Amino acid sequence: MNDQEKELEASAYKSLKEHYNTLSATPFALTKLPSLSFNQRGAIAGTAILNQNHIRLNRALLKQHPRFFTAQVVPHELAHLAVFYHFGRVKPHGKEWKMIMTEVFLLPANRCHELPLQHANVQLFRYRCDCRATELGIRRHNKVQRGQTTYVCKDCGSTLRFEGNK
Ligand SMILES: [Zn+2]
Ligand SMILES: [Zn+2]
- Model confidence pLDDT, tens digit, residues 144-156: 999 999 999 999 9
> What is the CA(157)–ligand 2 centre distance, in A?
6
Q: Among the bound ligands, name the one nearest to the CA of residue 155.
A: 2
Q: Are strands 124-128 and 54-57 parallel, antiparallel or unpaired?
A: unpaired
Residues around the ion ligand 2 (C-beta < 5 A): 129, 131, 153, 155-156
- 25-40 core/surface letters (b: 16 or more CB in 10 A; e: else): eeebebeeebebebeb
Q: How confident is the model at residue 30 (pLDDT cuts 50, 70, 90)?
A: very high
Both 11 and 89 in one domain: the answer is yes
Q: Is residue 114 annotated as a catalytic residue, yes or no?
A: no
Which residue segment(s) compose the domain that 157 sits in? 124-162
Report the separation in Å between the CA atom of 163 and the middle of ligand 2, taken as the mean of its atom positions.
14
Cβ(60)–Cβ(39) below 8 Å? no
pTM for the model stands at 0.81
Q: 53 with 81: CB under 8 angstroms? A: yes
- Do 133 and 93 reside in the same domain of the chain? no
How many domains does the chain contain in total?
2
The single residue of 5, 7, 9, 77 carrying the catalytic annotation is 77
Strand partners, 48: 55, 121
What average pLDDT does range 93-106 have in this prediction? 94
Residue 149 and residue 88 in one domain: no
| Residues forming beta bridges with residue 126, ordered by sequence position | 135
Residue 10 pLDDT exceeds 80: yes
Q: In this predicted structure, what is the pLDDT of residue 66?
A: 92
To 5 degrees, how large is the angle CA 6–CA 56–CA 112?
Answer: 110
